[in-house]
Structure formats: structure tokens, C-alpha cells
Chains A and B, each alone.
Chain A
Amino acid sequence: MPVVNKAMRETNSRDLFPGALEMMILESLRREPAHGYALVQHIQQRSNNLLQVEEGSLYPALQRLLKAKLVKAEWELSSTNRRVRTYQITAAGLRRLEQHISSFERMFEGISLVLNLGKATTS
């Protein structure tokens, strides 16, 4: 479970875990707008159920994104005819997502390099 309980601007590039949930939300919303429940389903399926996100922890993250104007929300009727609050990524959200992904990729690359190097010396 990602531990996300600090304000977004403090956590942009400090740690791997904080901000990760937000990144995944933004990425899902980039593909298509969705409501909270659908987002949870989507993230769990895409991660092959490797990430067991506590469903509720999505909501504080969504509120932070709303406050930072990276997403916007609207009440509408879903295809299954239920009242849902659908989230949509904004232009600012797209920009933020791109920054995140590139910095995340660089970080990931760095980490895997370090880890590979470690393996190389011990073997």
C-alpha cells in the first residue's frame, strides 16, 4: 500500500513511494476519464493484482489532485446508469504526468543500475 499522507508539492521528487499513487491515477485518467471505483479496478488489473491498493486511499490522493487543479471532477450518469463522479485529467495534469514519468524513469534506471552493479560484484 502506498503511504501517501503528505502534501503533493513536498513529495514531488523526494521519494519513490509518495506520489506514485498520484502518478498512476494520472496515467489511468490520461487513457480515459473514470470515476473512483473504476480507477481502483483499473489500477489493480493493470498491475496484475501486484499492487493491492486499499480502495479508500485513492480518495485523499484524488482530493490533492483536484486541489492542485491536475484533474477536474463532474457528476454524471455512467453507461450502467449509475450516478458517478467522473474525473478527467487537465492540461496541467498532462504536463505534470510527463515530468513525473521522465523523472521516475530516470530514477528507476539509476536504481536498477545500482542494483545490477551490486549483483555483479557479489557474483
Chain B
Amino acid sequence: MDWIPQIFRRRKFYEDLSEEIRLHIEERTEQLMREGMSAEEATRAARRAFGNRTLLEERSREVWQWPTLESVGADLRFALRQLRKSPGFGVIAVLTLALAIGANAVVFGVLNALILRPLNVPQAESLFVIQPGERHSYPDYLDLRQRNRSFDDVAVFAIRQSGLDTGKDPSKVWQYETSGNYFDVLRIQPYLGRFFHASDEHGPNSAPYVVLSYAYWHSHFQDDRTVVGRVVRLNRQAFSILGVAPPGFQGTILFFAPDIFLPMVNHEQLTGEELLNGRGTHWMFEMVGRLKPGFTPEQATGDLNSVDSYLKNTYPKEEDNEPYTLARPGLHGDYLGGATRAFLTGLMLLSGLILLAACANLGSLFAARAADRSREMALRLALGSSRNRILRQLFTESILLSLAGGFAGLMGSIVLLRWLSMWQPVPQFPLHVPVSPDANVYLVAMVLALVSGVLFGVVPVRQILRANPYEIVKAGSTGAFGRRITARDILLVVQIAICAVLVTSSMVALRGLMRSMHSNFGFDPQNVMLVDTDLTTAGYSGDRIPAMQRRMIEALQAIPGADSVGSVNWPPLELPNGGWQGKVYTDTTTDLSPSNAAGDPHMYNVSPDYFRASGTSILAGRAFTWHDDTNAPRVAVVNREFASKILGSVPDAVGRYFKLRDGTRVRVVGLVEDGKYVNLTEDQQPAMFLPLLQSPASWIWLVVRSSRDPQQLAAAMRSVLRDIDPGMVLAIRPWSTELGGTLFPSRMATVSLGVLGIMGAMLSITGIFGMAAYSVSKRLKELGIRVALGAQRKEVLQAALGRAFKLLAIGSAAGLVLGILAGRVLASIVYQATPRDPVVLVGVVLAMAALGLLATWIPAQRALSVNPLILLRED
């Protein structure tokens, strides 16, 4: 294999060759001069004797070259020259492709990062999320861990927020409270110091350790390597820093990056809640298991469910989870994974359609160009060029364009993906989208570029293979424009149909988002401030908590301009995975096992003025008062759905009783309107509100309604609350901002669909424009004759653009039908999206008509301004 050094030695060979030939001619000249010729004669004779020096030198060089490579080079040069001759075509083609391939690369980048790429831990393929993970107590976890036979080990974690005080300004951190074996199950190694292990746990509160995430260490400890061993205060309790997690690791949920990790066994020390032994206290978030070698996920599922049925038999009152399934880690099992996967797959299909449309678009442009160049090609054929050679040359051109477009699109998508990775869409949660591109993305983009190059390059092939050089040279390029349906027409219809699908889908999505923004939430977020206060993180416990909460509410009430102040343990629509739910029973039920429950309504602990502050209207009965405390009979306020589903009657709901899980009888004293509780797409759900003093919560949100300027109000609230306790961590935000988290998925969906819709519209404009402009320029002479014979403007336009409009109409109609079908799929993703919305239908028709007018405007002007005299004189 000596061709590699040959490449480098080639230049030397060429130089030697030229020198040798020069010396040869010199020697011959001298010889001839010795024989008596003049210097001039001798030079000429020597050259003649040598032959065509350039040709011979070239042939000598060819020996060292790869013949194909060399001619590919020639094709490339020719293609570049062709494109330089029509820069407009080149720029449009590259831009179109850059957009289409860029869109595909971005969507694939996200798909790749969130779904295809395994979690960034060693041997991720044997790691599984055991779901449902959240319906578990710590004792359940211990049982499951010990009794299963198919996992090497199982870890669990819960997510919480704490106040972290390093001696300076206390701040809130998000933490994973994990089982001791968490890092060992994941098989990762610390970046600094050490991790905690199962062997560090010796019963409750035995392991006051904390591990920092790399990002938190970087941003809050400035990469200080001496942090290991330092003691920090979490919720005012001492914890010592054991180590720092490696840079790429941010927990087992891709969207949600915790700041710190600490052992679950210290939960009581941290919060004052004794949860570890509560069999019925389901506070775990996710279970992650490392499958034993040789076990299939199916075997493991069966194994887990046999443990589950043992637990259900042993603790019938506490266990009510659904059967176990396994899921890939990263997106919290199927909970987020299912929706994300469906949405991204849909998006990938749509962006694939964009690329197809772009290819159709470029294909028809290419075919038009080939037709324009038919004379040149005919000449080349007539002069003995093979059809293969001409095709190869055309493909070189299309692949050159597609690679340039692919490269530009890839660059754009890398920038966009990097930016997406840095983006923090929802300020109050450590949510982010870790989608930095990798080799797979580059590869896919380039493969797509090549494939599309071949796709649109193949369009004119038939045209060339069939071309008859004799006819074309004889008739010139103007004669061949026929009336029959050409491949170009079909391509245009396909392209317009695809674009109409995209426009329809994005309109469906936009309408859906608009509706969901204006739907009834069951509360009014306008003019409301929320303060998130966790008294546990501030070091309060026991009876001091409700007293303090009441003090805060009353202090805020005293702020001038505050209309009403209430509190709720979690505002509705706040938590991405819902809030608290509690099983309830009808008053007549005596066997309180989970299967007899009448429902599983959302449960909110609220202060007396919450309904007024949140803007929830009371339909019947009363709100709470501060007298609804532990000494008074238990009461509740329920929503309409609760009344009709669980109490059986809406008008008579007030005054009826129901039972909580522990058997307590609760009297319904008020009825409020229905609302949205977890997300905007949910079916109507039952909800009950319990008075704060009867079911206390340490972490509450203060709800302040006021028409004052939000910034002034926030400042006033902050100073009032700081007066009460300067050590409290406060986050004060308008409710409408807070809702950003809930609306985030649908906003993302709408933005991405909107972008695809706009791209579709742009593509259809360029496609129709190209087609119309081409057909006008082809038929200028005919149009000129028509004008000369007295055709009216209308007739000229009809002749010039009738076909384009007909194709547009066919394509739009097909696209609309397809779009409505696609809209059904969308309806399951985008809130309130319905394809049978008259606004959408009319909108799409209008949009396509407008696009058609826009795209044909310039060609129409050109057709109308035809001057028959000049035109006919030309030939």
C-alpha cells in the first residue's frame, strides 16, 4: 500500500518530469545547432520533434493520478462555474436546504439527547426506572430492594428543596434525598472527595453528609477544592460536604438538575418530619434498579410484581399502587417519557416533511434548469459526451449544493442546540434541556444532506435520458414546453400539499394554545403575587409553624393596597407532576381499604381567605374561618366535580359528609367552581380544600391579591416578612410568571410547530414563485403574441398563471385534508387543539391563497408588462 506516500511525493514527481522534459528539448536544440541550424530554427525543430509538450506532460502526470478523482475534480469545478453563473439559484438552494436540514438537525438533536442517548452513567443499558416510583414509602422501598431477585441493587430518591447556609447569604437548593446506595447503583465516581454509600447509614439521622453537584460547586463554591470536609447548614442543621459529583452527572432525570445529594435517612434531621417508618407515607419520587446480568426486563417485571402482591397482602391498607413496569431512565419513566417521545416523534415527522418539501422544491427548480440547459446538454451529447457523464455532472452540482446547505444548516443547529442547553425556561425549577449536539447529530445532518442531494438531483434524470440531441438542437429550447402533466407539476402539488399540512398543523397548535391561555383555570392569576415559604427550611417546627403562618398572613394583610391574603400548600398548576391527592370514601363506607375509595381528589390545605385571594368563586356555602381549627369539627370545601362524582349531588352538596382515609368524617361547608389542577389538558378532576389549621403544612405559598404595581408590592411584602424573621428564604413572584412552568410544554410545542409552519409557508412561496416565474419566462413569446392579437389582461394572466393556480388549489386541498388528519394527532399533544375549528379551516384557506398571490405577484407583473414588439423582434 504505497499510495499514501505517493500523494505527498506527487509534487516532486511532477517537478522532476518538467525539468527532465525541459532538459530534453535543450539537449536536442544544442544537437541541432551543432549540426548547423540557427538558434531559432533549432528551438522550433526541437519542439516539433518532441510533440505536444503540454499534452504529453499531462499524460505523464495522469499515470500518478486516480482517474475518477481527477474527473470528479473537473465536475466540481464545472459545477462551481455553473453556480457562479446563477448565484440567485445557488443562494436560494443553499438557504432552503440549510433551513430544512437545520430544522431536522435540531429536532434530531433533541430527540437524540433526550431519548436515544443513554443516561450518562457506566453500563446505562442495565439501568431501569421501576415505575410507578412515586407511590412508595420508604419501608416499601426497603422491602422491594430486599425481596426482589432480579436486580443487583435498587436505589430510590425523593426531590425536595432546602435552605443552604454556607455562612453567607442563605439560598434555596434543590436536592435529591437518596438511598445510601444511589451512587453505587449508578456506578459513578466522584469528581472530588467521596460519595456516601449504604455502609454510611446506621439508622435515622446517622449520615449528615451532602454531595454537591458539579454545577453547584462551580457556581456557588467557585471550584474551591477545599470544600471537602467543610460543614454547611441545611435548614439550619449541620451537614458536612463529602464530595463533588462528576461534571456530566446531574441526577437520573434529564430535565431536572439537583444542586445537592444527601442521604434519605437524614430526612428527619432536615425537615423535622418522621417519615422513614411510615408504611403508608408515599413520598418517594423514583426508583432506579440495576438489572442482574442474565435477567430480562420481563422477568424482572414479573419478579417485582410478585413482591408487590406479597406487600399488598401484608399491608392491604397502605398499598395501592398499580402493577410495576420498567422504563428507560432519564425522563422519569413513561410519565414524561411517553409525552416527550410522542411529541418529538411527531416533530421529527413534520421536519422530515419540511425536508421533503424542500427537496421537491429544489427538484423542480433543478428540472427547470436542466430544461433551460437542454441545448447545452444536447450539444454535449452530440459531440460524444456520454449520458452518464452528464448525469454525473448534474449530481455533482446537486450534491455540492446539498452539502453546502447541510453544512450551513448544521452550523445553525449547533448554535441553537448549545443555546437550548444553556436555557433555563422556568426560573423557579432547575429545569433545563441538556441537548448539546454530538457526533450522531453531525452524521445525521450530513446523511440527510446527501440523501436530499440525490433526491432532488434525480428529478431531471429522466428528462436527460430521453433527450434527443438532434431534435433539441434543431428546435431550440422554446419548443418543448408541453401541455401534459409533467413531473414538475406533480412535485409542485406534493410540495404545496406538504406545506399546507405544516401550515394547518401550526395553526391548530396556535389556536389551541390561545384557547388554553384563556380557558378557566378555576382561579385568576392576574394581579396576584405568590410567596413560597417553607418554614422548615427556616428552622420552625411543631406548633410554631401555624402560629407563624397566621402572623405572616396578617402582616401581609396590613400592607396598603393588599385586597386579600390567603395561603395554600401548593398552588394549583404549580407542580409539573401534580400535588397532593388523598383517597376519600362515602360516608357510609366502613371498610376503608384503597379499593373501596370513592375517589382520589386533589387536596389543598388553604387559609380562610384563600378563595378570595386566588379568585376562586364560591358557588354555595361558605369559605373557612380561623375558627375551623383543631378544636372545631372537621370541614372541607369541594369543587363541583367532587360534589357530583363523590357526593352524588351538586345542589345538595353543602352539609353532606365524606370520610378521609383515616376514617375522619368531614362535613362539606362550601362548594367552589371547577378548575385545572395538574395541567391544562386534564379531564375535569375532583378537588377538596381543607382548612390550614386542621391539616397543617409547613411549606405554604402566600397568595396576595392586589392591584398595586407588582414591583412595589413585592418590595413591601419582602420588608414586612423580613421584619418577622430575617432568616427566611423568600421567593416572591407574580402568579402569571409562576404559571410559565405549567404552560412551558405547550409553549414549546407551539413555538416549534409555529416555526415549522412558517418554514412550510416560505417553502411554498419559493416553490410557487419558481414554478410561476419559470412558466412565464418560458411562454413570454406566446404571451407576446396573445397581447399582439389583442388579448385582455385577464386572458393574459389566465394563460400565464392559470396552471400555477390550479396546481396550488389541488395541493392546498390535499394538504388541508391531510393537515386535519394530522391535527388529530396534534390534539393529543397541544392543549385544546381541535382540527375541526372553523377559524383554522378558513385561516388555512386564506393563508394558502395569500401565499399563492404573493408568490405569483412578480411573475404576473412580468406577464402583463410583455411588450410584443420587442419580444418578437428578438428571434
Q: Do A and B come from one complex?
A: yes
- Chain B 642-660 per-residue mask, 1 if CB under 8 angstroms from chain A, else 0: 0000000000000000000
Give CA–CA (A40, B59) in the complex, Å. Answer: 18
Most A CB atoms within 10 A — which of B19, B53, B63?
B63
Interface residues of B in 21-74 (CB under 8 A from A): 21, 23-24, 27-28, 49-53, 56-57, 59-64
Are A83 and B50 interface neighbours, CB within 8 A? no
In the assembled complex, how far is the CB of residue B366 from the closest CB belonging to chain A, in whole angstroms?
36
Are B27 and A59 interface neighbours, CB within 8 A? no
Are B28 and A37 interface neighbours, CB within 8 A? yes
Give CA–CA (A76, B33) in the complex, Å. Answer: 24
**Is A118 engaged at the interface, CB distance under 8 Å to the other chain?**
no
**Is B438 engaged at the interface, CB distance under 8 Å to the other chain?**
no
Are B16 and A67 interface neighbours, CB within 8 A? no
**Is B20 engaged at the interface, CB distance under 8 Å to the other chain?**
yes
**Is A13 engaged at the interface, CB distance under 8 Å to the other chain?**
no
Are A59 and B28 interface neighbours, CB within 8 A? no
Are B56 and A56 interface neighbours, CB within 8 A? yes
Are B59 and A5 interface neighbours, CB within 8 A? yes
Interface residues of A in 36-90 (CB under 8 A from B): 36-37, 54-57, 59-60, 62-64, 66-67, 73, 75, 82-85
Chain A residues closer than 8 Å to B443, beta-carbon distance = none
Are A63 and B60 interface neighbours, CB within 8 A? yes
Chain A residues closer than 8 Å to B13, beta-carbon distance = 63, 66
In the assembled complex, how far is the CB of residue B648 from the closest CB belonging to chain A, in whole angstroms?
95
In the assembled complex, how far is the CB of residue B68 from the closest CB belonging to chain A, in whole angstroms?
13
Are B23 and A59 interface neighbours, CB within 8 A? no
Give CA–CA (A67, B27) in the complex, Å. Answer: 26
In the assembled complex, how far is the CB of residue B269 from the closest CB belonging to chain A, in whole angstroms?
81
Interface residues of B in 50-108 (CB under 8 A from A): 50-53, 56-57, 59-64
Are B57 and A82 interface neighbours, CB within 8 A? no
Given the known inter-chain contacts A37-B28, A82-B27, A84-B23, please indicate yes or no for A55 contacting B49, CB distance below 8 A. yes
**Is B17 engaged at the interface, CB distance under 8 Å to the other chain?**
yes
Are B64 and A57 interface neighbours, CB within 8 A? no
Chain B residues closer than 8 Å to A83, beta-carbon distance = 23
- Chain B 472-499 per-residue mask, 1 if CB under 8 angstroms from chain A, else 0: 0000000000000000000000000000
Are A56 and B16 interface neighbours, CB within 8 A? no
What residue of chain A has the Cβ atom nearest to residue B2's Cβ? A69
Are A56 and B21 interface neighbours, CB within 8 A? yes
What residue of chain A has the Cβ atom nearest to residue B57's Cβ? A59
What residue of chain B has the Cβ atom nearest to residue A75's Cβ? B16
Chain B residues closer than 8 Å to A60, beta-carbon distance = 56, 59-60, 62-63
A7, A54, A59, A67: which contacts B20 (Cβ < 8 A)?
A: A59
Are B56 and A73 interface neighbours, CB within 8 A? no
Chain A residues closer than 8 Å to B20, beta-carbon distance = 35-36, 59, 85
Are A57 and B27 interface neighbours, CB within 8 A? no
Count contacts on A: residues with CB < 8 A to the other chain: 22
Chain A residues closer than 8 Å to B27, beta-carbon distance = 37, 82
Give CA–CA (A66, B60) in the complex, Å. Answer: 11
Are B23 and A57 interface neighbours, CB within 8 A? no
A54, A55, A59, A84: which contacts B60 (Cβ < 8 A)?
A: A59
A5, A37, A64, A73: which contacts B16 (Cβ < 8 A)?
A: A73
Give CA–CA (A67, B52) in the complex, Å. Answer: 22
Given the known inter-chain contacts A37-B24, A37-B28, please indicate yes or no for A54 contacting B17, CB distance below 8 A. no
What residue of chain B has the Cβ atom nearest to residue A64's Cβ? B63
Are B24 and A36 interface neighbours, CB within 8 A? yes
What residue of chain A has the Cβ atom nearest to residue B19's Cβ? A85
In the assembled complex, how far is the CB of residue A79 from the closest CB belonging to chain B, in whole angstroms?
13
In the assembled complex, how far is the CB of residue B169 from the closest CB belonging to chain A, in whole angstroms?
76
Chain B residues closer than 8 Å to A63, beta-carbon distance = 13, 17, 60-61, 63-64
- Chain B 3-18 per-residue mask, 1 if CB under 8 angstroms from chain A, else 0: 0000000000100110
In the assembled complex, how far is the CB of residue A44 from the closest CB belonging to chain B, in whole angstroms?
10
What residue of chain A has the Cβ atom nearest to residue B55's Cβ? A56
Give CA–CA (A80, B467) in the complex, Å. Answer: 63
What residue of chain A has the Cβ atom nearest to residue B59's Cβ? A60
Most A CB atoms within 10 A — which of B17, B53, B56, B60?
B60
Given the known inter-chain contacts A37-B24, A85-B16, please indicate yes or no for A59 contacting B56, CB distance below 8 A. yes
Given the known inter-chain contacts A55-B49, A55-B51, A57-B51, please indicate yes or no for A82 contacting B23, CB distance below 8 A. yes
Give CA–CA (A86, B165) in the complex, Å. Answer: 86
Chain A residues closer than 8 Å to B61, beta-carbon distance = 63
Give CA–CA (A37, B46) in the complex, Å. Answer: 11
Chain A residues closer than 8 Å to B59, beta-carbon distance = 5, 59-60
Are A55 and B24 interface neighbours, CB within 8 A? yes
Chain A residues closer than 8 Å to B51, beta-carbon distance = 54-57
What residue of chain B has the Cβ atom nearest to residue A7's Cβ? B63
In the assembled complex, how far is the CB of residue B662 from the closest CB belonging to chain A, in whole angstroms?
93
What residue of chain B has the Cβ atom nearest to residue A40's Cβ? B24
Are A56 and B52 interface neighbours, CB within 8 A? yes
Give CA–CA (A35, B19) in the complex, Å. Answer: 13
In the assembled complex, how far is the CB of residue B117 from the closest CB belonging to chain A, in whole angstroms?
48
Chain A residues closer than 8 Å to B63, beta-carbon distance = 7, 60, 63-64, 66-67
Give CA–CA (A57, B57) in the complex, Å. Answer: 9
Chain A residues closer than 8 Å to B24, beta-carbon distance = 36-37, 55
Chain B residues closer than 8 Å to A5, beta-carbon distance = 59
What residue of chain B has the Cβ atom nearest to residue A68's Cβ? B63
Give CA–CA (A67, B61) in the complex, Å. Answer: 11
Give CA–CA (A82, B23) in the complex, Å. Answer: 9
Most B CB atoms within 10 A — which of A62, A63, A75?
A63
Give CA–CA (A73, B13) in the complex, Å. Answer: 11
Give CA–CA (A27, B470) in the complex, Å. Answer: 51
In the assembled complex, how far is the CB of residue B32 from the closest CB belonging to chain A, in whole angstroms?
12
In the assembled complex, how far is the CB of residue B1 from the closest CB belonging to chain A, in whole angstroms?
14
In the assembled complex, how far is the CB of residue B548 from the closest CB belonging to chain A, in whole angstroms?
92
Chain A residues closer than 8 Å to B53, beta-carbon distance = 56
Give CA–CA (A73, B15) in the complex, Å. Answer: 14
B-contacting residues of A (Cβ < 8 Å)?
5, 7, 35-37, 54-57, 59-60, 62-64, 66-67, 73, 75, 82-85
Show 23 residue pairs from A and B whose CB-CB distance is below 8 angstroms, ordered by the A residue: A7-B63, A35-B20, A36-B20, A36-B21, A36-B24, A54-B49, A54-B50, A55-B51, A56-B21, A56-B52, A57-B51, A59-B20, A59-B21, A59-B59, A62-B60, A63-B63, A63-B64, A66-B13, A66-B63, A67-B63, A67-B64, A83-B23, A84-B23
A-contacting residues of B (Cβ < 8 Å)?
13, 16-17, 19-21, 23-24, 27-28, 49-53, 56-57, 59-64
In addition to A54-B50, A55-B24, 16 A-B residue pairs with Cβ atoms within 8 Å of each other are A37-B24, A37-B28, A55-B28, A55-B49, A56-B21, A56-B53, A59-B17, A59-B57, A60-B60, A63-B60, A63-B63, A63-B64, A66-B13, A83-B23, A85-B16, A85-B19
Please list the 3 inter-chain residue pairs (A to B) with the smallest Cβ-Cβ separation, ordered nearest first.
A56-B51, A56-B56, A63-B63
